[in-house]
Structure 1
Amino acid sequence: MQKIILLTVLLTSLLFASVKVDTTYATAGAIAQKIGGRLVHVTVLASPKYDPHFITPKPSLIAKLRHADLLIINGGGLELGWLPPLLRAANNAKIQNGRKGFLDMSHYVHMINVPSSVSRAFGDIHAQGNPHYATDPYVVLVMAKAIAQKLAEIDPVHENIYQENLEKFTKEWKKYLKNLDAKMLTCKEKKVVQYHRLFNYFLRRYNIKSYGTIEPLPGIAPSSKHTIELINIMKDNGVKKILQDVYHERKTAKFIAQKTGAKVVIIPHDLGADGSKTLQEFYNKIATRICQ
């Protein structure tokens, strides 16, 4: 009887094995949970309420990384300001760059806004291109496929389950995209400005033109001269929408809105940034607030 009980416990643990997955940001975490289902335990390292470039490297994050089987990063240089020292301190060989337990999602995405040259004179630019690709809802399918492949590599016993989850999620997401595309048809000829180039992928997907950013250069605080220039550009081109993220100061956007008659809308850059709990809710908020 004891042998039967022991065998049952071993089989159960094998069937419901938990792969510990750490993701740097919440959108990737939600996708990993969809693909892994009950076979994975997902931990998101960075709070979506803060600037994704500058997350505080808390000691608690070291403990999470130390026990991870898989680390999924955004890549494109987005984590360079905070992740490397945490990885060194965690000393987990499984999730180091180049190892089986490391997945850089930017390697699977076509990056845009790639600079022709890299210099501090151009602000805090990313050499590989704009790393905020997750704002494009179509990239979700690319991320899901890459995650499914990596989970199958780490946990080949459950490869069929990951593939089934991927197929189910892909079918559901394509249906969602069809509805979202229909909704975005109402947004033709929208004109916007952004604080930071956070939403270029979403805007590019739906042919929405951005006439500039409140930042004169990436990572550089707005100056009076640049603000006045942006106001004139908006007036000349009839731009009536300012896309403000959740973590930058809002005083400048409000000032510009007063001078141009534009509307400031808060747009989430990551799932949960302003309370969204699902992938659909996250992308719906982006779409609705740009189109309203």
Structure 2
Amino acid sequence: MRRIILLTVLLTNLAFASVKVDTTYSTAGAVAQKIGGDLVHVTVLGSPKYDPHFIVPKPSLISKLRRADLLIINGGGLELGWLPPLLRAANNAKIQNGAKGFLDMSHFVHMIDVPASISRAFGDVHAQGNPHYTTDPYVIVPMAKAIAQKLSQIDPQHQKSYEANLKKFTNEWQTYLNKLDAKMLTCKDKKVVQYHELFNYFLKRYNYKIYGTIEPLPGIAPSSKHTIELINIMRENGVKKILQDVYHERKTAQFIAAKTGAKVLIIPHDLGADGSKTLQEFYNKIANRICQ
């Protein structure tokens, strides 16, 4: 009987020992799980099926934030449309901006497409640059390092475990990157247009040329005038690939494809956006579809 009681106490202590980690999006959540292992409980707040700029601020998210020990955000202004009111309502001092349990991943990556000036005339631009950096598989390592460091600060008694997980994961990821790079070298047609500037980081990494976006400006719905101009640009330059994300309307892309002979390629912007369950599967789907 005494052994049963001791075992129950041990299991209870283990259950309460896990660090509760909230991430705003799935890719960061997968990295946090790799580094934290059994020592963390990861909750992803935003569904990858929807526009990451406008996650629905459900009341259930408040309770999740209220219990969190660590909040990992994408940053770069991507969460500004939905996260701040949830954080205020959660009233959790541990995960407020600037607190020990707050981690902005954009501080650990090189942001591109930083605007020279900010104006609503340029559409829904982000002052710090393009926030969709997780489409570049090379940002996974700096993200993992930042998460390991933060978990070690929050839970110093398990620092060695986090460091060991980081070393194992980064070695595995480098092996994966070598294979992905070799695959991308085989891609011949590197001309694309995209709906929204979601994939700039991946496209820049592998030397693709972007001939435009279906949106005339970021966050602005396509107009007839802009659509016709884009069709002409694609015809003049022989662009045969349209990168379509999972959450924008597809009718415009299909119309442009019919007029240009291009393919509409559905590309995931985040892990799980079209069913991927692992980081490797997520980036493989991007690579396989862009490389068609």
Taking structure 1 as reference, are residues 231 and 11 closer, same or farther at Cα in structure 2, changes over 3 Å only?
Answer: closer
The 1-side partners of 2:190 and 2:198 are apart by 17
Q: Which amino acid aligns with 1:181?
A: D
Cα offsets for 1:208-230 (capped at 9, x unmatched): 11111000000000000000000
- Deviation of the 1:12 alpha carbon: 8.0
What secondary structure is seen at the aligned counterpart in 2 of 1:265?
Answer: strand
Deviation sequence 1:150-174 (CA, Å, 0-9, x none): 0000000000000000000000000
Using the alignment, how far apart are the partners of 2:68 and 2:224 within structure 1? 46
Q: Which is worse superposed, 185-194 or 137-146?
A: 185-194
Instruction: Give me the TM-score of the superposition, normalised by structure 1.
Output: 0.96
Match of 2:177 in 1: 177
User: What's the counterpart of residue 75 of structure 2?
Assistant: 75
Aligned to 2:164: 164
**Contact 2:48-2:273 within 8 A present in 1 as well:** yes
Structure 2: which amino acid aligns with 1:109? V
Question: 1:100-143 CA deviation, whole Å, 9 max, x = no partner?
Answer: 00000001110000000000000000000000000000000110
TM-score normalised to the size of structure 2?
Answer: 0.96
State whether residues 137 and 202 of structure 1, in contact with CA within 8 Å, keep that contact through their aligned partners in structure 2: yes
Over residues 9-43 of structure 1, what are the superposed CA-to-partner deviations in whole Å (9 max), with x where a residue is unaligned? 45983698200000000000000000000000000
Point out where structure 1 has 5 or more consecutive residues left out of the alignment.
none
- Cα displacement string for residues 195-247 of structure 1 (whole angstroms, at most 9, x for unaligned residues): 00000000000001111100000000000000000001101110000000000
Is the partner of 1:42 in helix, strand or coil? strand
SS, match of residue 163 in structure 1: helix
Instruction: Call closer, same or farther: CA 1:162–1:259 in 2, change over 3 Å.
Output: same
Q: Report the residue type matching 1:58 in the other structure.
A: K
CA RMSD of aligned residues (A): 1.8
Q: Is 1:237 the counterpart of 2:247 in the alignment?
A: no
- State the aligned residue count: 292
List runs of 5+ in structure 2 lacking aligned partners.
none
Please give the residue correspondences for 1:57-96 in structure 2 after superposition, counting only pairs within 5 Å.
57-96=57-96
> Runs of 4 or more off by more than 3 Å in structure 1?
1-12
Paired AA for residue 145 in structure 1? K
Identical amino acids, percent of aligned pairs: 84
| Separation (CA, whole Å) in 2 of partners of 1:61 and 1:181 | 38
Deviation (angstroms), 1:187: 1.6
The match for 1:48 is 48
Question: Secondary structure of 1:275's partner?
Answer: coil
In the alignment, what sits opposite 2:99?
A: 99
Distance 1:259 1:2, change over 3 A: same
Counterpart residue number, 2:214: 214
1:44, CA displacement in angstroms?
A: 0.2
For the pair 1:264 / 2:264, whether they are aligned, the reply is yes
Give the conservation status (yes or no) of the 8 Å contact 2:20–2:67.
Answer: yes
Asked if 1 retains the 8 angstrom alpha-carbon contact of 2:114 and 2:128, the reply is yes
Q: Give the structure 2 partner of residue 196 of structure 1.
A: 196
Q: For 2:7 and 2:24, how far apart are their aligned partners in 1?
A: 37
CA 1:7–1:210: 2 relative to 1, 3 Å: same
The question of whether the paired residues in 2 share the 8 Å contact of 1:191 and 1:209 is answered with yes
